[in-house]
């Protein structure tokens, strides 16, 4: 359910950073959040949707082949809209294939899993998913693509998440990017800012959701932990 493992290679950057960098990083992240909100405040005059929260726990095994190309991964995702009291749960599992070159890392992961509270009646749906990622220039540029199919009785949905992010040439683990999210024919898009601290990632996404008679604006907080 969106925001997969595109930042896992960057987690090492934060683990190697001295503690003295944490306060400047937090100040920079806070400033980026404020700039993001100020730049979009004029647009919020249309329709401001309730704040959303996405929490993710990722786990990945060591390589299971001699060439160190194949590992196993799993993740659990909680999507929550506190104001509405609604939520959905997602679980993914499958192999991950990674190929490293001098200036690029390419990986893909076919996944299967289940989505809870997905159908209109609140039921579960089976899912099949393909994730693809590429990291360039020593992880300065990261591209992540995800396509999910959801299947239940009377329900056949497609969800897509497409993201590109950039780490500016500073010593802080702060990243900026742009995401496009798709649910069947509906599309949202907007900028994001994320920060890595140890094995954790914190972020804020802004989504514009054009509709037939209005435009909705969404802020989403993101928290991930990589085990």
| The pLDDT of residue 159 | 98
Instruction: Among 3.80.10, 3.90.25, 2.40.160, 2.115.10, name the CATH number for the domain at 8-226.
Output: 2.40.160
Q: Calculate what percentage of the chain has a pLDDT beyond 70.
A: 80
Q: Any bridge partners for residue 111, and if so which?
A: 129
Tell me if 25 sits within 8 A of 195, measured CB to CB. yes
Report which of residues 16 and 183 the model is more confident about. Answer: 183
Domain ranges in the chain?
Answer: 8-226
| The pLDDT of residue 169 | 80
Q: What is the pLDDT of residues 104-139, one digit of tens each?
A: 999 999 999 999 999 998 999 999 999 999 999 888
CA distance 69 to 106: 10
Q: What is the pLDDT of residues 51-85, one digit of tens each?
A: 999 999 999 999 888 778 999 999 999 999 999 98
Q: Mean of the per-residue pLDDT values for the chain?
A: 85
Going 132 to 141 to 62 to 88, the CA torsion angle's sign is negative
């Amino acid at each position: 359910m969106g925001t997969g493992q595109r930042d896992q290679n960057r987690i090492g950057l934060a683990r190697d950073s001295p503690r003295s960098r944490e306060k400047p990083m937090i100040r920079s992240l806070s400033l980026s959040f404020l700039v993001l909100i100020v730049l979009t405040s004029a647009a919020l005059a249309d329709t401001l949707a309730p704040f959303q929260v996405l929490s993710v726990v990722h786990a990945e095994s060591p390589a299971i082949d001699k060439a160190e190309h194949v590992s196993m991964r799993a993740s659990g995702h909680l999507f929550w809209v506190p104001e509405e009291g609604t939520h959905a749960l997602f679980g993914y599992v499958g192999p991950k294939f990674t190929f490293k070159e001098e200036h690029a890392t390419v990986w893909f992961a076919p996944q299967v899993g289940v989505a809870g509270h997905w159908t209109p009646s609140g039921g579960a749906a089976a899912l099949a998913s393909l994730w693809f990622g590429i990291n360039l220039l020593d992880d300065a540029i990261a591209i992540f693509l995800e396509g999910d199919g959801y299947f239940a009785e009377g329900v056949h949905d497609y969800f897509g998440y497409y993201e590109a992010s950039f780490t500016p040439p500073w010593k802080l683990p702060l990243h900026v990017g742009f995401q496009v999210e798709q649910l069947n024919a509906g599309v949202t898009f907007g900028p994001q800012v994320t920060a890595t601290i140890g094995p954790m990632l914190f972020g804020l996404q802004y989504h514009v959701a054009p509709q037939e008679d209005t435009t909705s604006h969404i802020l989403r907080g993101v928290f991930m932990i990589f085990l």
